[in-house]
Chains A and B, each alone.
Chain A
Amino acid sequence: MTQHEADGSGARGGGDAAPLLSVDSLRVTYGAVTALRGVSLDVQQGEIVATLGPNGAGKTTLLRTIAGVLKPQAGSVTFKGRSLHGLAPETVVRRGVALVPEGRHIFPALTVEENLAIGGIARSDHVELRRDIDAWLERFPILGERRTQLAGTLSGGEQQQLAVARALMSRPSMLLLDEPSLGLAPIVVDRIFALITELRDDGVTILLVEQNVHRALAIADRAYVLSVGEVVASGPADRLIEGELERSYLGIGQRG
């Protein structure tokens, strides 16, 4: 039910294959705020890449720019070798990049099923679409129970599951996840993160923005750390856990 890349490059985390997503020197301002000051990163096909950093670092701006909601002043975004520059969000999703926005943003006055249906609005294969909807309702029994309920009445965790399922309805090659654990209880976060790992195993490449550092590093292959609009650290996830990350951006253990 998810798209598996047909070009055969199942390599993870580096190698000589061209990256699935490539962001180069991205600069984004709105009003007087320079949210991104020349950010570059890569995501290889099949990876989970985490983007960490304190609030205001520019993580959400990065995802929104890739998805086409914001337009960069400079720099480029390349996906599967083609530029995403200047494309409308509805076009970006048709190229295979789906965003699950921060705060979930499910459609509160539509039912769970309708939310899923909207996720697949760009698709023309109606029969397959119907099957996908049923499959997701089965994979998330809670959603299946509430299929005709208005999405606004769901709990935070349920809405998060719905938002992810909705994004996956478009069968994207790449999923952008903005703070999926936000405001959720730990046990719910467990399930969401387990889901993310499952999705990667199904062949979906994932770029994840998270505040919950430890959890993000536990499932990610590589991570980038953003601060005030710049990449200040990057590397394989296991190497970033120790000391430096905490010291450099959490400030814990420091007294002035």
Chain B
Amino acid sequence: MSSPIPILRLRPALWGTVIIAVLLFVGMLAVRSGGTASAGRTYTVFLVNVMLVISIQVFIGNSGIVSFGHVAFMGVGAYTTALVAIPEALKTAQMPDLPTSIASLQLGFFPALLLSAVLAALVAAIFGGGMVRMTESTMAMATLALLVVAHTFFQNATTFTRGGLGLAGIPARTSLGLATLIAVGFALVGRLYKESRSGLRLRATREDALSSASVGTNVVGVRYGSWILSGALMGAAGSVWAQNVIAFNANQFYFAITFSLLAMLVVGGRSSVTGAVAGAAVITFMTDTLSRVEQGVRIGPWELPRITGTVQFAIALLIIVTLILRPEGIFDRWEVDDLVRRVVDRVRGRTRAPAAAVPPVPELAAVAPAEPVAEAPIALEGRDVVKRFDGVTALAGVDIDVHDGEILGLIGPNGSGKTTLLNVVSGVQVPTGGRVELRGEDITGWPAHRVTARGLSRTFQNIRLFSELTVRENVEAAAPADAGEAEVEDVIAWFGLTSVERQKAVNLPYGVQRRLEIARAVIRRPSVLLLDEPAAGMNESESDELLANIRRIRSVVGCAVVVVDHDLRLIMKLCDRIQVLDQGRTIATGRPDQIASDPRVVEAYLGAGSPAA
């Protein structure tokens, strides 16, 4: 088994960054040798914009949550750098009340950048702690508050910022070459983060926060980490920006620049580093060209009048058009190396495997049915579990015992509480009363990701895959931290998914999606596996295949399995024991033959007065 790797798609990430680096360097050389001084300035502005947008993209692109407040971190970085880079004499002249410790401090380019990043990260850490617990829309509003608070602070802390008057005299240390280098660095960091384990897990929360918790991701934690990294990057970018514009004031860290940067993300592609670069290019070029038009320009015999706000107009229109025609932006979620690979494949005549071809489950040796496991130790125990909500009692005191290695069927009519029991046991819901123990450890009320970390994983009734991620990424996002590439590939092969590894989960046929969901649960190496209606929508031959698979999983993984389903034919054939719920209570437990002939069970399903009762 290979060693666990923190960066999952390292080679594509490096290749992608190399391509971007080449493009940026070529552009720089072209501008330096052939262009005017103003073109050089514009290119530097473009590069700084690349840094700013990538910083924001690290958070927004991966978490899917909008932040209006990132310019606050840019301001922190810019002011920090200004305070340590402006020559002492100029500093004391502009800010006479500055403490001598700061006044005498002089730092070079990189130390200033580093300090800016650290302070911005600190501010992000302090303000982010509460925010990442909020819902999507509330957090967006909280970031708006952050922007306003930061802006107010910058405007009024005149001892350090000179408010609206601004600071001047920052050494112009952002040369064209240096900016190109640093921009490439940002692209590398952004891309590496995206392809890292944390980045992938965060992207999974964007697709389905509930099931990512159920595959072991601490949603709040991974959002927090991304927020802080993004803040640090933004502070660094602010530092580079300050050393390019050499003078700025507090009014700049507000909505105009926020709008501009978000426009770059929307147009270029929210979820892609390449998109961030492209968006920065489009908007910078537009801004530059239209600013000239705004001044009033001659085109041939016509003289266009001054139109204030042309830039804002154009950008706003571009955003709206993009959102209508291509909502995810020009590059969508693609990186430049993905596109290159597609072109190369097409040139070489290699076409993608048609999505319609359903990969068969590999022929593995038939597994003999396990011996009765009534004496095996108890893997999962629920005692007197009660769940009430909105005046409804879904569970009225249910006991459940799952022995090591057994397959337990959980059945009952609709509304009997089966899914609620699964939810309570797996940490998706908190029980109103009772106790749940996993391998002797009390896990009552634990959140889903902790329960999963302890060894219980599950699938959902309505398939909750990470739709926009590939098959492989779905499994990787679920894999435990110490699982290596080989283990991931093993599981994918075992479920017959290797041929569709690169397909997006949303494009898979239904049966294959179900298989992927189970694969995702299995890679957690669970000691208890909960399957919620795995046979839904399957015909007889498909459910026979499922039966064989579940038996194989039990043998190979060595876990206990709890299966909830309405396909009673499947349940009777598959399970060692069956537990029947009705109206939130257990009405029968026993072997399949016992349950099939139990009149209470027949009555619960068919209704009273049935001839079979």
A residues adjacent to B (C-beta < 8 A): 31-35, 54-56, 152-153, 155-156, 179, 182-183, 185-186, 211-215, 218, 228-229, 241-242, 246, 250-256
Contact = CB atoms under 8 A, between A and B. Distances in A.
B533 A153 contact: no
Contacts of A241: 611
Contacts of A215: 607, 609
B355 to A, nearest CB: 10
B592 interface: yes
9 tightest Cβ-Cβ pairs between the two chains A and B: A256-B573, A251-B569, A183-B415, A214-B607, A251-B568, A56-B536, A55-B566, A212-B607, A32-B510
Contacts of B570: 251
A182 B606 contact: no
Nearest to A252: B596
Name the residue in B413, B414, B538, B583 with the highest tally of chain A Cβ atoms < 10 Å from its Cβ. Answer: B414
Contacts of B611: 241-242
Given A251-B568, A254-B572, A228 B537 contact: yes
B572 A256 contact: yes
The A contact surface, by secondary structure, is loop
B596 A56 contact: no
B392 A255 contact: no
Contact of A253 (B506, B596, B605, B610): B596
Given A55-B566, A183-B415, A255-B573, A250 B606 contact: yes
A214 B606 CA distance: 5
A56 B573 contact: no
Given A182-B414, A255-B593, 20 more contacts: A32-B507, A32-B513, A34-B510, A35-B537, A56-B533, A56-B566, A152-B390, A211-B413, A213-B606, A214-B608, A242-B611, A246-B612, A250-B606, A251-B570, A252-B605, A253-B596, A255-B572, A255-B592, A256-B569, A256-B572
Contacts of B573: 255-256
B29 to A, nearest CB: 49
Contacts of B571: 251
Interface in B509-534: 509-510, 513, 533
B602 interface: yes
Given A214-B608, A228-B539, A31 B533 contact: no
A228 B569 CA distance: 14
A165 to B, nearest CB: 20
A70 to B, nearest CB: 15
B609 A218 contact: yes
Contacts of B609: 214-215, 218
Contacts of B606: 212-214, 246, 250
The B contact surface, by secondary structure, is loop
A211 B606 CA distance: 8
Nearest to A152: B390
Interface in B374-408: 390-392
Contacts of A242: 611
A32 B607 CA distance: 34
B567 interface: yes
B508 interface: yes
A154 B611 CA distance: 34
Contacts of A251: 567-572
B404 to A, nearest CB: 24
A254 B572 CA distance: 8
A110 B323 CA distance: 36
Name the residue in A32, A33, A183 with the highest tally of chain B Cβ atoms < 10 Å from its Cβ. Answer: A32
A215 B609 CA distance: 8
13 contacts: A56-B566, A156-B392, A182-B414, A183-B415, A212-B413, A213-B606, A229-B537, A242-B611, A252-B596, A254-B596, A255-B572, A255-B593, A256-B572
A179 B414 contact: yes
A179 B414 CA distance: 9
Interface string B70-85: 0000000000000000
Interface in B186-243: none
B596 A153 contact: no
Contacts of B608: 186, 214
Contacts of B507: 32
Contacts of A152: 390
A183 B582 CA distance: 9
Contacts of B538: 228
Nearest to A211: B414
Nearest to A179: B414
Contacts of A182: 414-415
A213 B613 CA distance: 13
A182 to B, nearest CB: 5
Nearest to A193: B607
Nearest to B542: A228
Contacts of B508: 32
Contacts of A35: 537
A222 B606 CA distance: 17
A153 B391 contact: yes
A156 B415 CA distance: 11
Nearest to A210: B607
Nearest to B605: A250
A144 to B, nearest CB: 21
A255 B509 CA distance: 30
A129 B389 CA distance: 34
A134 to B, nearest CB: 27
